[in-house]
Amino acid sequence: MQLSKLRPFEPALLGMILAIPVAASAAPPAPPAPDGDTAATLSETTRFLSDQHKTTQGSVTIDGKAIAYRADAGVLVVHLKDPMDADAPPPAGEHATPVPQPPEASMSYFAYFKGDKEDPRRPITFLYNGGPGSSTVWLHMGAFGPLRVVTRSDTHTPAAPYRLVNNAYSLLDVSDLVFIDAPGTGFGHLRGKDKKKSFFGVDQDAHAFAAFIVKFLSEHNRWNSPKYLFGESYGTTRSAALVNILENEDSLDVNGVVLLSQILNFDDSVDGPQFNPGVDLPYELALPTYAATAWYHHKLPNPPADLAPLLTDVEQFALGDYAQALSAGNDLSAAAKAAIAQKLHEYTGLPVDYILRADLRINGGEFEKNLQGAEVTTGRLDTRFSGPTIDPMSKESDYDPQSSAISSAYVSAFNDYVRTKLDFGQGMTYKPEIDLWKTWDFSHQPPGADSKLPGPTNVMTDLAVAMKTDPQLQVMLNGGYFDLATPFFAAMYEMRHLPIEASLEKNIEMHWYTSGHMVYVHEPDLKQLHANVAAFIERTRNEPGAQ
C-alpha cells in the first residue's frame, strides 16, 4: 500500500516541462466529450492518451460547519517534453517506418474545491502516497477526502459492506485538495517508446509529478494560490526531489511541504540492513520503535507505565552505548556483548540468546516474526496490528497484518465511491498498487552532482537545497511511534542531519502520534493530524500583498 512488503531493500513507502495535449500533427484528436466536461470512457486500446474529467457537487461538515464543494475526477496527460516542440511527422509515404510515439502518462486525480467555483486566493494542496507504485487511495479515503472509510484501529476489519462517513477531518476547511495517483497506478496508463523506463524511477517520477502540477495550475488558473505538497511514505522521498524541481527548474515556490512517515535516506531502512554490512545505523534508529511495540504488546520484562520516558531512555541508549558496541564490530568483548544483549532484551522483550545469535542486530522482518512467538506475526506498517503467522519456521515475517487488515476496505469503498458519487471510472479499472520494486530506478542525481549516483536513494540534499534557495520554505514532519516501515526515530535523525544552516532549522516542525505508518487509521490521531496540518497551512499561507 505505501512501501511494498519486499526484502531485502526497501523503506512504507518524476526535468519534465509543462505538459500539454499532443498536437494534432502528432496524433489524431481525442473524440469530443459527450456533454462538455463529462468525460468519454477511456479505451484500453487507445494509442494516444487524452485528458478526461467529470464534475460533481457535494458537501462535507467540518467542525460543525457544512462546506459545499465541487469535485473533479479525471486524468491529465503528462510528457517528458512539450510535444509542441517536436517536429511534425513527415507526410505519408516519405518514411519507411513510423515515427515512434514519445512516452506519455495519464495520471488520474481527484480534486475538491470549496464552493461552486474555484477561488484562486485559496491554498491548494497536492497529496500523494508512495510505494513506489502506490495510488493515493489511502490518503484520499482514510485521511483528508470529504468521505472517509471506517476501519478498525488495530485489528482486521470485517469484509463488506464497508461504511463511508462524513469526514470531519477533511482539510477542505483550509485548502482545496488534489489527490494525485502516480504514473501507472489508479486510472492512469503509459504509452510510447521506453514508457516504463521514462516514468518508473526516482528522478523520472519526480519530474512527472512536477509536470502534472504545472499543468494543473495552468488549466485551473491557480499559479498565484498558496501551494502545498503532502507526501506519505515514499511520497516523502518524492516530495524532497519534487520541491527542488519545482523551485529550481520551474521557478515555482511552494509555501510548505508536509511529510508523513518520512524516508529520505534509504540507507536508514531496517528492512534489509544485513545486506549492507558495516552500516549499523538502521538497527539503532529502529530500536525505539521496537521498544514502543514491545511495550504495546506487553512483552517488556519490566514495562514502565508510560511510553514517553521509555522512548527517551531507548533513544539515548540507541545512539550511545548500542551504537558504540556495534561500531566495535568483532573487537567487542564477550562481556560487553552480553551486557548489550541484556539491555536489548529489556527494551525489546526478545530473548537474550536470540539477540546474541543475531550478533545484536535484528532487522525489521525478524522482529515482526519473533516478538510475539512463533504463531503470531506483528505488523510492519503499524506494529499495533497482529495476525496469524503463515510459516512458524520462517526467519522473518511473510506478510504485513496491518496491510491485510484494511486494504480491502479502502479499495472496495473507493471503487464504489468513485462510480456512484463522483460519476467517474465506468468501464475502467482502478489500480491501487503496481509492483515496481524489481524495475524501479532507485539511482538519483542530487543537486550539484554531475550524474546519477549508485547505491541507496538519498534525497536529503534535495530538500536542503530547496530550503536554501527558498529560505521561507516551511517543512512539517509527522510520524507514528508504531511504524516499522519508516521508523520515527530515523525520520527525526534525517531532519537533524539535513545539510542546512542553523538559521533554517526553525523552518522545520515535527509531530509524533500513537499509531503507525498510516497515522489516520487511529481516529484520535487523525483528529490531531488535521489540527496540526490545518494550523500549519493557516500560518504559512501568506496574505495578499505580503512581502
Q: What is the pLDDT of residue 23?
A: 32
Q: What is the pLDDT of residue 101?
A: 79
Q: Chain centroid to CA 152: how far? A: 22
Coil/strand/helix, residue 159: coil
Q: What secondary structure does DSSP assign to 268-305, as a single string?
A: G-SSSGGGSTT--HHHHHHHHHHHHHHHHTT--SS--S
Coil/strand/helix, residue 478: strand
H helices present in 30-119, as ranges: none
The cell numbers describing 74, all together, are 479525471
- State the pLDDT confidence band at 336, using cuts at 50, 70 and 90: very high
Mean pLDDT of 209-216: 98
Is 60 exceeded by the pLDDT of residue 30? no
Contact 500, 471 (CB under 8 A): no
Q: Is the pTM of this model over 0.85?
A: yes
Is 60 exceeded by the pLDDT of residue 200? yes
Mean pLDDT of 379-392: 97
Is 50 exceeded by the pLDDT of residue 29? no
Q: What is the pLDDT of residue 96?
A: 58
247 CB-side CA count, 13 A: 26
Output the average pLDDT for the chain: 90
| Tens-place pLDDT, residues 222-233 | 999 999 999 999
The cell numbers describing 246, all together, are 519545482
Is 70 exceeded by the pLDDT of residue 444? yes
Mean pLDDT of 136-165: 97
Q: Where are the beta strands (DSSP E) in 473-513?
A: 474-480, 508-513
User: What is the spatial distance between Cα 241 and Cα 228, in angstroms, rounded to a whole number?
Assistant: 14
Is 90 exceeded by the pLDDT of residue 472? yes
Name the least confident of 2-16, 67-81, 335-349, 510-524.
2-16
Q: What is the pLDDT of residue 34?
A: 38
In the chain, the amino acid numbered 461 is T
Domain ranges of the chain: 52-266+408-540, 268-401
Q: Is 397 exposed, middle or buried (0-12, 13-18, 19+ CB in 10 A)?
A: buried
Could you say which architecture CATH assigns to the domain 52-266+408-540? 3-Layer(aba) Sandwich (3.40)
Mean pLDDT of 5-29: 33
Cα-flanking dihedrals φ and ψ of residue 177, to 5°? -130, 135
Cα-flanking dihedrals φ and ψ of residue 176, to 5°? -70, 155
Is 50 exceeded by the pLDDT of residue 40? no
User: What is the spatial distance between Cα 326 and Cα 214, in angstroms, rounded to a whole number?
Assistant: 47
The cell numbers describing 113, all together, are 474545491
Cα-flanking dihedrals φ and ψ of residue 293, to 5°? -65, -45
